[in-house]
Amino acid sequence: MKPLSKIHDTSSSAPMHAPIADESAHPGQDRSIGDIIRETHDLSPDQIESILAYQRQHGLRFGEAAVALGLLSSDEVVYALSQQFHYPYTPSDRGNIHPELITASQPFGFQAEAFRAIRSQLIMRVFNPKEPRRALAVISPDGGDGKTYFVANLGVVLAQLGGRTLVVDANLRAPRLHELFGVSNTSGLSGILSGRQEENVIFQVGDIPSLYVMPVGVVPPNPLELLERPAFRLLMAELLRKFDHVVVDTAAASVGSDACVVASKCGAALTIARKDRTKMEKLAELVESAGAMTASMAGVIFNQY
207-266, pLDDT tens digit by residue? 888 999 999 999 999 999 999 999 999 999 999 999 999 999 999 999 999 999 999 999
Q: What is the pLDDT of residue 273?
A: 96
Q: Would residue 271 count as lying in a domain?
A: yes
Query: Position 279: which residue type?
Result: K
- 53 and 169 together in one domain: no
User: Domain holding 233: CATH number?
Assistant: 3.40.50.300
Q: Summarize pLDDT for 265-285 with one digit per residue, the tens.
A: 999 999 999 999 999 999 999
Query: Position 159: which residue type?
Result: A
Distance CA 165, CA 110 (A): 23
- 52 and 113 together in one domain: no
Q: Would residue 90 count as lying in a domain?
A: no
Instruction: Provide mean pLDDT across the span 280-304.
Output: 91
- 73 and 112 together in one domain: no
Enumerate the H helices of the chain as residue ranges: 33-40, 45-58, 62-68, 74-84, 102-105, 110-125, 147-159, 177-181, 189-193, 223-227, 230-242, 258-266, 280-292
Q: What is the pLDDT of residue 84?
A: 63
- 42 and 188 together in one domain: no
Q: How many structural domains are present in the chain?
A: 2
- 134 and 244 together in one domain: yes
Mean pLDDT of the residues in the chain: 84
Instruction: Provide mean pLDDT across the span 124-143.
Output: 94
Contact between residue 163 and residue 245 where contact means Cβ atoms under 8 Å apart: yes
pTM of the model: 0.77
- 76 and 107 together in one domain: no
Which residues on neighbouring strands pair with residue 74, listed in sequence order? none
Query: How far is residue 51 CA from its own chain's centroid?
Result: 37
Q: What is the pLDDT of residue 217?
A: 94
- 53 and 136 together in one domain: no
Q: Would residue 126 count as lying in a domain?
A: yes
Distance CA 94, CA 66 (A): 21
- Closest residue by Cα to residue 186 from 208, 210, 217: 217
Q: Which domain holds residue 74?
A: 33-85
Q: Would residue 25 count as lying in a domain?
A: no
pLDDT band at 108 (very low <50, low <70, confident <90, very high): confident
Q: Would residue 41 count as lying in a domain?
A: yes
- 78 and 115 together in one domain: no
- 78 and 108 together in one domain: no
Contact between residue 271 and residue 151 where contact means Cβ atoms under 8 Å apart: no
Q: Would residue 92 count as lying in a domain?
A: no
Which residues on neighbouring strands pair with residue 249, listed in sequence order? 138, 169
Quote the Cα angle for 164-100-118, to 5°.
55
- 195 and 230 together in one domain: yes
pLDDT band at 95 (very low <50, low <70, confident <90, very high): low
Q: What is the pLDDT of residue 111?
A: 94
Distance CA 19, CA 137 (A): 21
Q: Would residue 108 count as lying in a domain?
A: yes
- 71 and 113 together in one domain: no
- 65 and 155 together in one domain: no
- Last residue of one domain, picked from the residues 85, 116, 146: 85
Q: What is the pLDDT of residue 199?
A: 77
Coil, strand, or helix at residue 296? strand
- Last residue of one domain, picked from the residues 57, 85, 113: 85
